[in-house]
Amino acid sequence: MFGKRTEDSQSATHFRSGRISWVNGNYFFTTREGTLEGPFFTREEAEQQIERYVSRMTQAQKRALS
C-alpha cells in the first residue's frame, strides 16, 4: 500500500504481510503499537479482527484530535 501515515514525513510503500501468526493452534496478529491480539480460531477471524482493530484505532485518534 502506497500512502502517507499521519506520523510519516514522506509517502512510502507500507507492507502489511506477516501480521498474522499461528501459535499453539491459534491465530494472533501484531499491531504497529507492538501488541499481540488474539487468540482467534481461524485465520479469517484474525483478518476480520484486524479490520475492526484498525477501525477502532482510527476512531479513537479522531476523537483525540477533536
- Is the pLDDT at 1 greater than 50? The verdict is no
- What's the CA gap between 63 and 41, in Å, rounded? 32
pLDDT in tens, 2-61: 455 566 666 655 555 578 999 999 999 999 889 999 999 999 999 999 999 999 999 999
Q: Are 9 and 3 in contact (CB under 8 A)?
A: no
Strand ranges inside the chain, DSSP E: 2-3, 12-13, 20-23, 26-30, 36-40
Q: Helix, strand, or coil here: 29?
A: strand
Q: Domain limits of the chain?
A: 17-65
Q: What is the pLDDT of residue 46?
A: 96
